[in-house]
Structure 1
Amino acid sequence: MSNTQALQSKEQTLFRHVVQNYESKQYKKGLKAAEQILRKNPNHGDTQAMKALILSSQGKSEEAFELCKVALKNAMKSQVCWHVYGLLYRGQRNYEEALKAYRFALRLDPESAQIQRDLAMLQVQMRDYDGYVQSRRTMLQARPQNRQNWTALAIALQMSGDLAGAEDVLQKYEESMRQTPSRGDMEHAEAVLYKNTIIAERGEMERALEHVDSVAKMALDKTAVMEMRAQYLLALGRKEEAVEAYTKLLRRNAEHREYYEGLEKAMGLDRSKTEDHQKLGEMYHSWGMQSDRVDAPRRLPLDFKNGDAFRQHADKYLRRMLKKGVPSTFANLKQLYSDPEKKETIRELVEGYISEQPHTNGGAERSEPNGSADGSHPTTSKPHDSATTWELSLNYFLAQHYDYHLSRDLAKARKYIDRAIELKPSETDYTYHMTRARVLKHAGNVAEASKAMNEAREMDLKDRYINTKSAKYQLRNNQHDDAVATMGLFTRKEAVGGPLGDLLDMQCVWFITEDGEAYLRQGNLGLALKRFKAVFDVFGTWEDDQFDFHSFSLRKGMVRAYVDMLRWEDRLREHPFFTRAALLAVRVYCLLFDQPLLAKEGGVNGEGAEGAAERKKAAKKAKREAEKAEAERKAAAAKKASPAKKDEDGEVKKEDADPLGVELLKAAGENPLEEAMKWVGPLLEMSPRNVEGQVAGFEVYIRRKKYLPALKCLLAVSSIDPEHPKCHEQGCRLRLALEKLDEPLPEKARQVIDSEFLQKSASKGSVEESNDEYLAKHQESALHVQSVVRVRHALHPHGSGDVKEKSAKDLQQTLDTDSTTLVQAEEGLRVLSEVVGADEKAKETYAAKARERWPEATVFQLR
């Protein structure tokens, strides 16, 4: 039992104020009231616990834990103290300890609804659905009149896999209702649709259809009802009714592609069957004729038509879109470029329009008395304006066509985009200038691309989109300060830490990732690692944010959205930005393991500087900046003349104690591979089909001498892409590692490695013979040659001049291969730096040859 009863009346009132102040985030008042109680009752455990909770909310975690432990000593049998102890652990994401504390608090006070609710929230957060079901049953028995408790139990049963039990709970509540809910009852409307989704998940489509028909009138989400009904009819094979259902949906939204896919299936049409193409074309034509504004039924036939039928339809579609000057025409069609024949047809058509006389408007002016040939209304623009729009659209489309990676010819792309800019010398429309910057970027001229994108930004200073694009290009050019200043135009002026602090607070993941990658390119490992850790923390925050929605979603009755959120959170770390940051962070940690001195040299990596002299210069500069930052931090701590910055609630804003990431880098350097595993674990679990993720996993495991997991990653890459160059490279490195074991492997591990790997690779001869054979087979592929060079470097880590010369020559020859891309050539320069070290002559020879092919690429402009 809590010892709050031992307080006198005045102190009991003060204690209630402490709790209220904490709940309303009035921490300063809460601390003042707590101190007032403790002056008279210095050993009052509950007050000490509440004070600890407030201190924790102010960021003073260590002090809060110490005080809470004192509180527990003074009131070991207080449920308040144990509850607070659990909350403190929850704040530290130590959910196991928090769970223990909650359960102990609940034993002391089984009737506490608050403790039970916090326990339930923690269980669902941890995905302990069996425990969550038990907690929700207890809460339902305590308050059966509350509908939220019934719905929450149904969710718990559904997530634990008991769909029948979930439906039964919802059914029992409906039977116990004494009066019919009103038509505007959102909670009931959502609950009945949620029940329908459970029936559908059980695979009982007939019953799900009957149920959705019976509740259609009381449901407020009419679109969801129509979609469910259409899906059930299609699943049951009742195609005529399904056609009618999808037709009604398309009348509501004729741009929704999934509705067209459903309609196709309902009509029994298959895109893969040529004999169905005519009927499909007639279906889409009928929908296209219903409105001149709708695009989907005109665009979708291009996905399945081929040959002359494709050419005719593409001609009609292109003329319509280019006549109107729709800027997104290419973006809408580039998906078709995966088919070389369609890509070539589109190019021929658009280049053919160029030769047509402008006054004919490319045939776009041809109209019939009741409309144009494609069903659209005749144009009302002036002939001169239409001709200009037509020519502008053609040049813009072809600029994007030749800039696209599947049809890249940057010389032509620049010619067409320059012509488009001549035709549209607008001072506010940045669209064409932005594309020009993109062409420059793909040419490798990141400096000019950044400048061009910034010029585009200055054409419309109020547009957030072009502002962020400009900042992104500045980061690609390693202009950190300029990028922060550009983003600062749209951040809060009063934000602590300036624009960068606001971007971190607003969880602007793309900027943080790009910034970290830019620092990594420059070799500044400290700041790179700091940015990647910030991305890691953002995803942790998104995971913790679920706590707010476990109760909020039930309170608002948005049950279906809540279940979707839980399932989305389960796959959170397969997000592309997490994957990207993880791969970069693992690269840093592996570098710290391979070169431990980097953590002591200010985190300046040699691969980011030009030669040994530049590396030393950069290291000295980083050291000076670190010393300066440390001196400023100590001076600020000692001065105390100016009060700490606080927010509106009086909470002290945290100052960055390690602005350059020096301390973070030192800590990472102590055990880099353990830190890397924090990234590798989620990467392999959430994205097992990601080749780069498996490659990163191998790099960490082989350095940890965990050969079985390393082999698992290698086999995963082989199963996904057997021809991937990393299969050969990492396979050879694994063989070398197994040949030089410090101690024998455990018997079971040796048997698995022998049967799954060594026996198969032994037939290829020695590692060196296998490497030479691989080179002969793949000498036309830059990536494969780079893997061969890395293996050769692993075989001869302190290789002679002949070995280095041979590797340099092999890498240089890849520049003569037409299939070698700029990105691959850049990677080749990095591989060359790893192999030849400080041999500037070899690097300059490679760079000079690369400049002949990519004269504008800044990466090859070595000093």
Structure 2
Amino acid sequence: MPPSNPLPPKENALFKRILRCYEHKQYKNGLKFAKQILSNPKYAEHGETLAMKGLTLNCLGRKEEAYEYVRRGLRNDLKSPVCWHVYGLLQRSDKKYDEAIKCYRNALKWEKENIQILRDLSLLQIQMRDLEGYKDTRYQLFMLRPTQRASWIGFAMSYHLLGDYEMANSILDAFRTHQMKGPYDYEHSELLLYQNMVLAESGQYDRALQHLHKFQSQILDKLSVKETSGEYYLKLKRFKEAEVVYEDLLKRNPENVMYYEKLIEAKQLSDPDEKVAFYDVYKKEYPKAIAPRRLQLTEAQSQPVFERLVDEYLRHGLHKGIPPLFVDIRSLYEDQSKSDTIEKLVLQYIENLTKTGTFGPEPSEVKQPASALLWAYYYAAQHFDYKKDTDRALHYIDAAIEHTPTLIELFIVKGRIYKHAGDPVSAYQWVEEAQAMDTADRYVNSKCARYMLRAGHVKRAEDMCAKFTREGVPATENLNEMQCMWFQTEAAAAYQRLQQWGEALKKAHEVDRHFSEIMEDQFDFHSYCMRKMTLRSYVGLLRLEDVLRSHPFYFRCARAAISVYLRLHTHPLQDAPQTAEPDTENLAPSELKKLRNKQRKAKRKAEQESALAAQVQVKREQHHKARQQQEQGDPEAPQLDELVPDKLARAEDPLEQALKFLQPLRTLAADRIDTHLMAFEIYYRKEKPLLMLQSIKRAWRLDSGHHHLHECLVRFQRWLDESLASLHPDVATVLTTETQPMVAGRSCVQMAEQWVSGAARTSQAAALRLLQFYSLGCVEVLDSLRDGDFGPCETEISSYMEACSAKFPYALAFKPPAPAPAAEEDGADDAPPAKDPVAN
């Protein structure tokens, strides 16, 4: 439709130049042309020019002025699609997608067939997963541009994402028949594979297989054709044909584990002996392949057969000196008999290699290289560490280090043994020694930093990582920029153990922001993938983004944040007391001199820290400025609030903050009992009985025997006993009815007594025994005692620590605190860990 407030030819030509300048990112020239129009008194309030000026200012980072001009232009011309479109672009640059969609819909009221607005609207709809709206918008684009490839593909994909596979396939068929002409290239190949995926997801495997065979000459990804057809044959129970396909694939890659598993399915082998014989065939056919030898160990059930096979496998690995040999066969340890067999063989190897230099006692045995004994020691150390036999593990790793004191892997394993034994300080010291042997190894550097964090030495860990981060920028800044989430999750846990709540929350929020950024980054791929025809990968991307926060990194950061917020709700931080001025008049001259020296040192240190912080801030600003220049003037992203640890730790609503971390887990990690136990802890403190009940029921369905769940159920029942009378009758009825299957008519005291094997206890000692019987982490129990959750119990703390120390002799958490070293002038390093993360 024509503009609601048209400009005369001269000004209209200037306005078109503003549009061109915006498209070519010539923003300063665009502002000059806008000024020429607005300087004319007749058009000083021209809405569309004001809106474009605002959009141009936004690209230059002048956001407040941009909003002022755009809103002013909109007020002057509410019927202008340009003004509404520009306002939507402004909202989109601030990630306010819902508001942007409203603006685009308003723009379409006045210009229903504007292609650009429809495209922008479709991108926002798929970003927000408004699939019905996306389908309608793609239909309009399809009707307006029926000859464009993107119109067909987007229209078909909208039906695919909604689950209407037949309609999606019909559109793709029509497009392929009427629009696609030879020669056939990569994009055509990807389109055919995408159409095949649509047919397969509809469950029509026979039809998908026919489609694959019909167009296989036009599909360039031959490996995908073979793998997909093999999968379809198995789905259709056409086993002979599937067998041929997977045998052919094994010739291509005899190390692919999936091919062997699929071939077993095709041959319909179920007996373990048949599977062992199956792998024997492929061991002979592919003598250098490791996969059939390793898979055979999993299937072997007969003790003599397994011993023969694992003996062969271990001898090969130790002779070759394969460091990850233990990691490779660790899954076999789930079977105790297999674990015992492996232990017996490894000890025999060590004995024979020490005496005769061979694996076996027979005189005809071939002499092994000297390194074979070293790798046998190395394997034995990991074996006994896995079995929690720390003394024997240390014995063998020490023997290996004595044999070859220059092998880095030995020191890393020794550090791991101490970590599992509960001594994170010794663990990081040994890994640090490994790192010193090869300072250019990024893996060992990262491993050392991780161990330092677990020992509570955060500053040392940052310095260690700084060896591989960009110069001139603090390591934490660079790691955050690179979204190095393993470091940030470990740092959050370290700060939590050190009871530095604000720092722990800062790291958790940084990780949370990374996930938000990853979800925002998909925006650029909506149009890119459709243009490049990478349609299968694009659908995979959308499905990944839908469950992104189920990732273990998010779960760890959320669990740490929720734990800290619950702690801060129960024990809010107190304001720091004002330090009184020392009474210098009554001090002796020597004491006064010491005080003045201390004050001078503190002042000097504060000045140094202030100067360093100023340098860091300058470098950070220079870095951000350079990044903005690299982005070539793209609309500036919204500036997030700075994460200030003290502010985070003094949140006014810690439970609401905890809920923000919990909500994604309730949807995406509903299969983990910890999710529902955390939910219960939050709702218990918020006194939400129905949500408490919901959390307990979901946890009960997952694991009714979980120790923490039983504790939550006891607390919930006790809360009900005290509060039932004050609840609404309908709510009380629901709570009583729904808890009955779990409570079975018992009171909270009766449930506790039964859980402690019938011992009736109501004293403090009984509560302690109950908690220990729950098999909670020993450090968690100790923390509860120290926090006074059971009242004053100094005697019980000492006896509990003695008992745990006897059980875990290497664990630092149960040893008396070492005397604090004298602080140096420049300040000591981080304090030792308040808690032991791996005592169990």
TM, length-normalised to structure 2? 0.85
SS of 1:488 mapped into structure 2: helix
Separation of aligned partners in 2, 1:303 and 1:679: 40
Equivalent residue for 2:756?
775
Query: Aligned-pair distance for 1:162?
Result: 0.4
SS of 1:361 mapped into structure 2: coil
Separation of aligned partners in 1, 2:443 and 2:616: 40
Equivalent residue for 1:325?
321
Separation of aligned partners in 1, 2:501 and 2:693: 29
Q: Where do residues 39-188 of structure 1 align in structure 2 (5 Å cutoff)?
A: 43-53=45-55, 64-177=66-179, 179-182=181-184, 185-188=185-188
Separation of aligned partners in 2, 1:515 and 1:562: 34
Contact 1:18/1:34 (<8 A) preserved: no
Equivalent residue for 1:516?
492
Which of 837, 852, 856 aligns to 2:806? It is: 852
SS of 1:740 mapped into structure 2: helix
Pair 1:647-2:621 in alignment: no
Separation of aligned partners in 2, 1:177 and 1:637: 58
Query: Aligned-pair distance for 1:489?
Result: 1.6
Q: Where do residues 432-831 of structure 1 align in structure 2 (5 Å cutoff)?
A: 432-495=410-473, 498-597=474-573, 600=575, 646-650=625-629, 658=642, 660-666=644-650, 669-741=651-723, 744-758=726-740, 761=743, 763-765=745-747, 767-776=748-757, 803-808=763-768, 824-831=777-784
AA paired with 1:252? R
SS of 1:355 mapped into structure 2: helix
Separation of aligned partners in 1, 2:780 and 2:435: 31
Query: Aligned-pair distance for 1:528?
Result: 1.2
Separation of aligned partners in 1, 2:321 and 2:30: 63
SS of 2:242 mapped into structure 1: helix
Identity, % of aligned positions: 34
Q: Where do residues 185-584 of structure 1 align in structure 2 (5 Å cutoff)?
A: 185-270=185-270, 276-306=271-301, 307-358=303-354, 359-363=356-360, 386-404=368-386, 407-426=387-406, 429-495=407-473, 498-584=474-560
What is the CA deviation profile of residues 596-652 of structure 1, one whole-angstrom value per residue up to 9, with x for unaligned ones?
A: 345x559xxxxxxxxxxxxxxxxxxxxx99x99999999999999x98951154479
AA paired with 1:475? L
What is the CA deviation profile of residues 647-692 of structure 1, one whole-angstrom value per residue up to 9, with x for unaligned ones?
A: 15447999997564222333xx222222222122111111111011
Separation of aligned partners in 2, 1:849 and 1:746: 48
SS of 1:131 mapped into structure 2: helix
Change in 2 beyond 3 A, CA 1:52/1:286: farther
Contact 2:408/2:437 (<8 A) preserved: yes
What is the CA deviation profile of residues 183-229 of structure 1, one whole-angstrom value per residue up to 9, with x for unaligned ones?
A: xx111100001111111122222221111112112111111100011
SS of 1:437 mapped into structure 2: helix
Separation of aligned partners in 2, 1:630 and 1:53: 41
Query: Aligned-pair distance for 1:259?
Result: 1.0
Separation of aligned partners in 2, 1:684 and 1:736: 25
Contact 2:165/2:198 (<8 A) preserved: yes
Separation of aligned partners in 2, 1:629 and 1:74: 55
Change in 2 beyond 3 A, CA 1:298/1:662: same
Pair 1:16-2:12 in alignment: no
Separation of aligned partners in 2, 1:347 and 1:178: 64
What is the CA deviation profile of residues 15-40 of structure 1, one whole-angstrom value per residue up to 9, with x for unaligned ones?
A: 23541355xxx777777776676666
Query: Aligned-pair distance for 1:727?
Result: 2.4
Separation of aligned partners in 1, 2:61 and 2:567: 33
Query: Aligned-pair distance for 1:853?
Result: 3.4
Separation of aligned partners in 2, 1:37 and 1:434: 71
Number of matched residues?
Answer: 778
Contact 1:323/1:364 (<8 A) preserved: no
Query: Aligned-pair distance for 1:49?
Result: 3.5
Separation of aligned partners in 2, 1:113 and 1:540: 29
Contact 2:74/2:84 (<8 A) preserved: yes
AA paired with 1:705? E
AA paired with 1:121? L
Greater relative contact order: 1 or 2 (C-alpha under 8 angstroms, separation 6 or more)?
Answer: 2
Change in 2 beyond 3 A, CA 1:239/1:629: farther
What is the CA deviation profile of residues 483-530 of structure 1, one whole-angstrom value per residue up to 9, with x for unaligned ones?
A: 1222122222254xx221111111111111111111111111111111
Query: Aligned-pair distance for 1:809?
Result: 6.6
AA paired with 2:19? R
Contact 2:11/2:37 (<8 A) preserved: no
Contact 2:91/2:99 (<8 A) preserved: yes
Contact 2:159/2:167 (<8 A) preserved: yes
Separation of aligned partners in 1, 2:567 and 2:769: 26
SS of 2:756 mapped into structure 1: helix
TM, length-normalised to structure 1? 0.83
Separation of aligned partners in 1, 2:704 and 2:283: 45
Query: Aligned-pair distance for 1:587?
Result: 1.3
Change in 2 beyond 3 A, CA 1:284/1:807: same
Change in 2 beyond 3 A, CA 1:471/1:56: farther
Separation of aligned partners in 2, 1:9 and 1:64: 22
Change in 2 beyond 3 A, CA 1:443/1:703: same
Query: Aligned-pair distance for 1:749?
Result: 2.7
Contact 2:469/2:475 (<8 A) preserved: yes
Contact 2:724/2:732 (<8 A) preserved: no
Structure 1: runs of 5 or more not aligned: 271-275, 369-378, 603-623, 780-787, 793-802
Contact 2:349/2:358 (<8 A) preserved: no
SS of 2:358 mapped into structure 1: helix
